[in-house]
Structure 1
Amino acid sequence: MSTARTLSMPYKAPVITPLHEAGIGDDGGAADAGFCARLQHAIDTKTKPVGSLGALETLAYQIGRIQQSLRPAIRRPAIIVFAGDHGIAAQGVSPFPQAVTVQMVMNFLAGGAAINAFSRSARVELEVVDAGVATEIEHPGNLVVRAVARGTRDFSVEPAMTDEQLVQALASGAERVDYQAAMGSNTIGFGEMGIANTSAAACLMSRLLDLPIDACVGRGTGLDDAGVAHKRAVLAAALERHPASPDPLVTLATFGGFEIAMMTGAYLAAAHARMTILVDGFIATAALLAASKINARVLDYCVFAHSSGEHGHQLMLEKLGAKPLLSLGLRLGEGTGAALAVPLVRAAASFLSEMASFESAGVSDRSDAPSDEH
């Protein structure tokens, strides 16, 4: 094993405003604390028993905090799907050939994938980005081409990407978020497509959380028991080859994919823009894990859409202190869980903005009810 390396070129992460009470306002947080009290009062005094909307009340509070508004609105929700190929696929860690990545990108562009159907149903803007698919698409149509290279290198042999490629991917992810924000979006989610990207995500999880690889490796796109055992062995050997680094950027460059790195940059940019961020499944959460190691404040802006059926995701959510909205056994990726959560996010903002209070509706609350005491 060689000694741990450091990133050879600078990366300046965007500034993220913290949401905790001591972090907003020129008066040391007093203004934010006062707003929080008003926001909680607005939620508690809607025409319902306190807490009766359960997790939607927590979600409404978070959205109100993000937007610093008692009447938040979900505007032009968008999902960006980043697609990229992985050199580790050459080691047989997926039951599907690498050609499926470009085939699925074409399916996205034709409107035939699950994320297309769910985005249409939820009225979500959908963007597809070529982050580094192995096969160049000659007539990309509405594909956004930001390919860093035609797939990453095989990280069982060498780091997946160079430091320069990592910084380029981070910047490209941020640029796509900036575009969506400029188009009017204040709510955004990220999806991915890339054969063998659960292998990359598992290694990131193992290294960034200091967990054994066995706790992180799952079936991916449908490996049998023998396939999972082979995948686990390949990834364990890859982790042994590359020394641990305290720098999450080095870890991301070593094991990540271009689509994962772009999502990492996208998360940081979305939090910088004070957007509500919808977090999808295992791979998207691995990218968020990397982003949180760069700047933990990104988590304040994240709504965890669902708990994936992929092995390791629940543990990753627990380590992040996340409480997902849905648990449907999904393990497709593509941003599908994020799209399914959009109606719930809309509902949470709507009840805070539109639901009457006891006072405005002329309805008696418990404090106004006649007392039995004499």
Structure 2
Amino acid sequence: MKLFNTTIFSSLLLLSLFSCNNDDDTNTTIPDDNVDSKIITAELTGQLSHEVYVDLNTGETVTSEVNTWEVAFDQNGTIISNSGKKVALAMPVETDFDAINEESAQGLQLYYDDESADKTLTAWNKNGFELNTPYILDLGIDGLGKSLGFKKFIISENSSSQAVIKFADLNGENEQTTTVEKGSGFVYFSMIENKVNEVEPANWDIVLKPVTVRTGAPCFTMGDAAMPGINCDIMRLNASVIINQNGSVKGAKTSNYPDLEPNDDPEHEINLLTIEDSNFEEITPSTVGDLEMTTQGNLIGKEWFHIQTPHRDGVYKVYSHITFVVNDEEGNNYKLRFLTYSKDGQNGYPTFEYQLIQDN
């Protein structure tokens, strides 16, 4: 796949949350009087079909298609699932790979990577994943919200240099055994295409991307009454911002209204705040040291916007009064704030402003 630079439950749910709306998502005015500011619009698209990696030091962005991989491996043995297209892991009753069939996937508990991007909270950690054990992978959805079906698989090796995976359709057809050679960072593998795809660039600080989030109760709390995707474990996609989990990128969140929580009532106090209520200009080299930095993946996450009622209209309030500080791979501190989530009336185009924090 080429990289390029850029300056059910049902598809109805996707359309209602991520498609066009006639209202602006915020009354923020994009600043044009500060030459030190950089403005980036990440084109995730209305269907959340892209993810955008940003190197704050250079201002360069790399956009990757979401629907090009299901699982990824790193040299530390971590396995992640593609949360951007609802990929999920399940453990079948059968312990024999060949015995798994279409019926094996019915009624299983599905495990998703946590939206926090915490590597200890992946679907694989939650499910007590083991080598040489057969599992089922829900391949997630395509760009139109259509299910891509399932694969059964066994991973027989997950060393620092390679992963060996055998997989097939649930009916046994299209069986393959593939060795995935590892490199720096994650290596992204598609069971659909049976190949490694290039996804993330070598250098990046934050990525704007879709993630799978749960609405409603977890199925395991409902016992025999659980109907996955119907009355529990209803999963949808939501835009999020994740900081690089390589261990060297840190960040903090700050505002003049730290006690106000996101709220979907358009008349709530937090939704009446504007960019004029921001503390963005107050963050300087002398004050940034007072902030508590963290490597938590979803430090920014979904904190910068919130859907308003009625939800069916897909109107979001962007919390431009919140300032985020990111300490990048080179040790530089940047402050950033989000300005909009839509472009030409369509959601899925978050725009943010950022500046290097330095003495004038």
Tell me the TM-score normalized by structure 1. 0.26
Tell me the TM-score normalized by structure 2. 0.26
* Higher helix content, 1 or 2: 1
